[in-house]
């Protein structure tokens, strides 16, 4: 359909105008705040639990080990999927609706899913989202926390610059890990028959273009990953410092 990212952008603008580039943004727009809040709260709660279990508390507590970071971050992927899966499904349905001659508006996607199967239909692909988000979250938090431990004297109190750098590393780690899994997840959610399996979909993608087919969109995703996640983690750290002062 498209020869690359630039060709995709050009054809989308020609067909739908500039705002076509933002097709499907409403679902993620309303869900990403709660999802990231769940990620950060879940990670912190898992860290508190692990520190209590290992006796790693008090003023002389050590940094979490890498396996401990992975446990905490994997837990966040499980929790975040509950909100992320429906939002991702709505985004995919909006982005593929026009090609099928369907209403591509947000409410059009909502009504279509409801008509197909009610509330449960909004969780189509939840298993595939979980398969993407658990290892993706491990790589996201893992790269972020390890980068912080490398550049910060106190990883719990990074400067804005340190948070930006570490957050960017987290974004790269996440998408380098999750992109092929995201490819499978997206194809499952775009399938309206409701009978697409994870392995079957992965085999279909591989048959269409080999390993490279799992990395379509790699360049724009990686170009976005560093600055977007740098801003995300820096805002989180600064907000946390502000809240700590207030409470």
**For 185-201, what is each residue's pLDDT tens digit?**
999 999 887 778 999 99
pLDDT, tens only, 166-185? 999 999 999 999 999 999 99
- Determine how many CB atoms are found less than 10 A away from the CB of residue 143: 24
Tell me, what CATH number does 185's domain have?
1.50.40.10
**Which tokens go with 93?**
């349905």
Q: Looking at residue 14, what is its pLDDT?
A: 76
| Containing structural domain, residue 218 | 5-246
Contact between residue 94 and residue 75 where contact means Cβ atoms under 8 Å apart: no
Mean pLDDT for the chain overall = 89
Which of these, 80, 55, 81, 84, lies nearest to 68 by C-alpha position?
55
The mean pLDDT of 202-209, rounded to a whole number, is 94
Q: Cα–Cα distance between 40 and 73 in angstroms, integer?
A: 9
Work out the percent of the chain whose per-residue pLDDT is above 70. 92
Q: Looking at residue 1, what is its pLDDT?
A: 60
pTM for the full predicted model:
0.84
User: Could you tell me the maximum CA-CA distance found in the chain, to the nearest angstrom?
Assistant: 62
What are residue 17's phi and psi, to 5 degrees?
85, 180
Work out the percent of the chain whose per-residue pLDDT is above 90. 62
Give the number of C-alpha atoms closer than 13 A to the C-alpha of residue 7, restricted to the C-beta side.
6
Q: Cα–Cα distance between 245 and 247 in angstroms, integer?
A: 6
Contact between residue 129 and residue 185 where contact means Cβ atoms under 8 Å apart: yes
How many domains, the chain? 1
Angle 26-54/106-117 helices, nearest 10 degrees? Answer: 70
Q: Flag whether pLDDT at 4 surpasses 80.
A: no
**Which tokens go with 154?**
């106190």
């Amino acid at each position: 359909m498209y020869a690359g990212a630039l060709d995709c952008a050009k054809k989308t603008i020609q067909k739908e105008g500039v705002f076509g580039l933002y097709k499907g943004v409403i679902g993620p727009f309303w869900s990403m705040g709660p999802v990231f809040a769940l990620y950060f709260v879940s990670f912190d709660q898992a860290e508190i639990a692990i520190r209590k279990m290992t006796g790693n508390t008090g003023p002389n507590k050590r940094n979490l080990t890498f396996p401990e970071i992975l446990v905490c971050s994997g837990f966040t992927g499980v929790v975040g999927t509950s909100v992320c899966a429906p939002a991702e499904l709505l985004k995919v349905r909006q982005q593929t609706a026009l090609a099928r001659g369907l209403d591509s508006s947000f409410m059009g996607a909502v009504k279509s899913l409801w008509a197909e199967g009610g509330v449960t239909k909004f969780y189509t692909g939840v298993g595939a989202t979980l398969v993407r988000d658990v290892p993706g979250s491990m790589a996201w938090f893992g790269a972020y926390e390890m980068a912080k431990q490398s550049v910060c004297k106190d990883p719990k109190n990074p400067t804005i610059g340190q948070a930006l750098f570490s957050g960017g590393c987290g974004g790269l780690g996440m998408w380098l890990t999750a992109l092929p899994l995201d490819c499978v997840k997206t194809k499952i959610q775009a399938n309206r028959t409701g009978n697409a399996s994870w392995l079957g979909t992965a085999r279909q993608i591989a048959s269409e273009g080999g390993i490279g087919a799992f990395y379509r969109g790699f360049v724009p995703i990686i170009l976005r990953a560093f600055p977007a996640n740098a801003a995300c983690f820096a805002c989180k750290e600064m907000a946390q410092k502000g809240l700590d002062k207030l409470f």
